[in-house]
Amino acid sequence: MHILIIGGAGMVGRKLLARLARDGVLHGRGITHVTVHDVVAGEPPAGAPFQTSVVVSDLSLPGEATKLVGARPDVIFHLAAIVSGEAEADFEKGYRINFDGTRELFEAIRRVGGGYCPRLVFTSSIAVYGAPFPEAIGDEFFHTPLTSYGTQKAIGELLLSDYSRRGFFDGVGIRLPTICVRPGKPNKAASGFFSNIIREPLAGKEAILPVDEEVRHWHASPRSAVNFLVHAAGLKAEQLGTRRNLSMPGLSVTVGEQIEALRRVAGAAVVQRIRREPDPTIIRIVAGWPRNFDPRRALSLGFKAESSFEEIIRVHIADELGGKFVA
Amino acid sequence: MHILIIGGAGMVGRKLLARLARDGVLHGRGITHVTVHDVVAGEPPAGAPFQTSVVVSDLSLPGEATKLVGARPDVIFHLAAIVSGEAEADFEKGYRINFDGTRELFEAIRRVGGGYCPRLVFTSSIAVYGAPFPEAIGDEFFHTPLTSYGTQKAIGELLLSDYSRRGFFDGVGIRLPTICVRPGKPNKAASGFFSNIIREPLAGKEAILPVDEEVRHWHASPRSAVNFLVHAAGLKAEQLGTRRNLSMPGLSVTVGEQIEALRRVAGAAVVQRIRREPDPTIIRIVAGWPRNFDPRRALSLGFKAESSFEEIIRVHIADELGGKFVA
């Protein structure tokens, strides 16, 4: 089978590709070819049991999506997006990449015709929800995004449902929790500290905590994110029905609970590397974010996430640090 | 003040224009100019105390929306859409008119710049909801449209919220109930019978009832629809906050209750003109439609609809039949 990963050079895309290379199969079918698309060149995985093609282009430009789907991939993972902060800072770029890019892809698939109907897995976001919301957001709560990014994801979900209902493709949209522990360097995303306060101390470095410990948020590990994508690719259309966009499971914890878990996993010396430095801007932004979900439908469809923050930390130590940290 | 009505040649647009011509003012401000836009020529109202310009063009074509908003109208009513059945039958046309047309309009307003921020009233639809849903749909229930038309309206709502949040315009989206009694000839819309069984008997003609009397649906008169538009134009931005799309009030009645109301208003001989002829296709379509709403937010913002179906019938007799019917 041929798999297309759009946004394949990003953090989740790279991990998905590595997982496919390790498995060699997807839901029992051998993988013969993976096309990795992004605006920068993705990295073919070493020793993969399939051919990897790397394509660099701007999906939002006319004709680019058509080229990508011309080879009729069996499964398409659409992970490409510019992030929330950038979509908010540059209105036109956000709509062009996150909205037109997604629509161009969906239209290109529709125009292939001849009975072509691939499984398409789209990563949406909990940013489709905007405060005020219930303490735990249920599957039937409405979408009132408070960012352009969230608006673009919510529109992508609506298009995915309609194109699937029409039989142009067989779509599944998955709303990812905040990915934690995100590997790499600290970035300026307002959500960055949720990962920074774990990753940096484990690497022997100081991390800044800009909010207080009562802040509650919704997390899943990068490994879980990849599991969600792979699981979504195998769902049967009849399990999905007409409601094809799902809030993924995750773990709702406070920052204080994150820190306690770090203490239990790595010890007090590691926790000492977290420095409190309240940031009113980040405090205000984070106050409008979802704290918890009640993702019954996804759970009933077999999606699984971590059940403790210790587990999330241990996944990070295993997958990113080769099992070791700076005590 | 200058008012632009997009879709001004349609049934609701014509009634809105007549109302503006009668009032001469909108929320205390004198109307100096109304531009009536549609794909066919609108009719300037006789004796209007303002100048009327009639513009015929396709809003979805590049540049057309820019021409319309160049004169910086103070209030824009965006009523233009192709109907549900046509958007379902012609996928590309539906997206072009209902989706690209709306986006072109919103973008044209954004590009005017220079602090231009008109009030924009957008007619959405209860078709943003798809079964299964609760017996009465609350304000926070999610949107899972089961038609392309409903998808296009739901996307319009999301864009309206985001453009308003960004300060490009000051939008209000209103989800109209099924308009009953719709004047004119019987049409092929699946919802047509809700009006046909009242309008045709009152005109001395036979009407066909294709569903059984237990079918419950959500109605408001054309007069109420115009009231909603006018009321929406006067809401303050601070009353709306970030949640700018509202389910309008209406009346939830069964077909049996509609017929009983007709009997009370017009007598048994009129009711005798309704002929039962079950249509399995219409029965199936209507089974997936909303039956009732709990539109608390709109009620709290002062929107009002009819409180009995007799009232809806009397509005029809007064507004369309000059107070008389064929007994």
From start to end of chain B, where are the E strands?
2-6, 25-26, 29-30, 33-38, 51-56, 75-78, 119-125, 137-138, 170-176, 178-179, 207-209, 216-220, 245-247, 251-254, 274-276, 293-294
A92, A142, A146, A166: best to mutate for the B interface, most B CBs within 10 A: A142
Q: Work out the minimum CA distance from A82 to partner chain B, whole angstroms.
A: 17
Q: Work out the minimum CA distance from B75 to partner chain A, whole angstroms.
A: 24
Q: What is the DSSP letter of A212?
A: -
Chain A residues close to B145, C-beta within 8 Å = 158, 161-162
Cβ of B91 under 8 Å from any chain A Cβ?
yes
In the numeric block, which tokens belong to residue A287?
């106050």
- pLDDT value for B288: 87
Q: Work out the minimum CA distance from A243 to partner chain B, whole angstroms.
A: 7
- pLDDT value for B185: 87
Task: Please say if the pLDDT value at position A307 is more than 90.
Answer: yes
Cβ of B88 under 8 Å from any chain A Cβ?
no
Task: Please tell me whether the overall predicted TM-score, pTM, comes out greater than 0.80 for this model.
Answer: yes
Q: Could you tell me whether strands A293-294 and A137-138 are parallel, antiparallel, or unpaired per DSSP bridges?
A: parallel
CA distance A117 to B232: 43
Query: Are residues B169 and B121 in contact, defined by beta-carbon separation less than 8 angstroms?
Result: no
- The residue extents of the domains of chain A are 2-177+222-247
> Catalytic annotation on A95?
no
pLDDT band for position A288 (50/70/90)?
confident
Residues B34-74 have pLDDT tens digits of 999 999 999 999 899 999 999 999 999 999 999 999 999 99
Across A182-190, average pLDDT? 84
Q: Work out the minimum CA distance from B80 to partner chain A, whole angstroms.
A: 20
Chain A residues close to B91, C-beta within 8 Å = 166
DSSP codes joined into one string, A245-290: EEEPP-EEEEHHHHHHHHHHHH-HHHHTTEEE---HHHHHHHHTS-
Query: Are residues B11 and B40 in contact, defined by beta-carbon separation less than 8 angstroms?
Result: no
Residues A56-104 have pLDDT tens digits of 999 999 999 999 999 999 999 999 999 888 999 999 999 999 999 999 9
Query: Are residues B181 and B316 in contact, defined by beta-carbon separation less than 8 angstroms?
Result: yes
CATH number, span B2-177+221-247: 3.40.50.720
Chain A residues close to B130, C-beta within 8 Å = 242
Cis peptide before B132 (omega within 30 of 0): yes
Chain A residues close to B124, C-beta within 8 Å = none
ipTM rounded to 2 decimals: 0.96
Query: Are residues B118 and B134 in contact, defined by beta-carbon separation less than 8 angstroms?
Result: no
CB contact under 8 A, B158 and A143: yes
The mean predicted confidence, pLDDT, of chain A is: 96
Would you please indicate which residues of B are annotated as catalytic (active-site) residues? 149
Q: Which residues of chain B have pLDDT under 50?
A: none
CB contact under 8 A, A151 and B140: no
Please give the C-alpha separations between residue B25 and each of B118, B128, B175, B233, in angstroms, as whole numbers.
17, 32, 24, 12
CB contact under 8 A, A158 and B159: no
CB contact under 8 A, A154 and B158: yes
Chain B residues close to A151, C-beta within 8 Å = 158-159, 161-162
Chain B residues close to A91, C-beta within 8 Å = 166
Task: Please say if the pLDDT value at position A189 is more than 90.
Answer: no
pLDDT band for position A186 (50/70/90)?
confident
CB contact under 8 A, A158 and B140: no
Of B130, B143, B145, the CB nearest to A142: B143
Measuring CA to CA, which residue among A66, A147, A148, A150 is closest to residue A104?
A: A66
Q: Work out the minimum CA distance from A100 to partner chain B, whole angstroms.
A: 11
DSSP helix/strand/coil, A193: helix
- pLDDT value for A165: 97
Residues B226-262 have pLDDT tens digits of 999 999 999 999 999 999 999 999 999 999 999 999 9
Which CATH fold would you assign to the domain A2-177+222-247? Rossmann fold (3.40.50)
CB contact under 8 A, B91 and A141: no
Of A145, A161, A243, the CB nearest to B151: A161
CA distance A4 to A16: 11
CA distance B324 to B327: 9
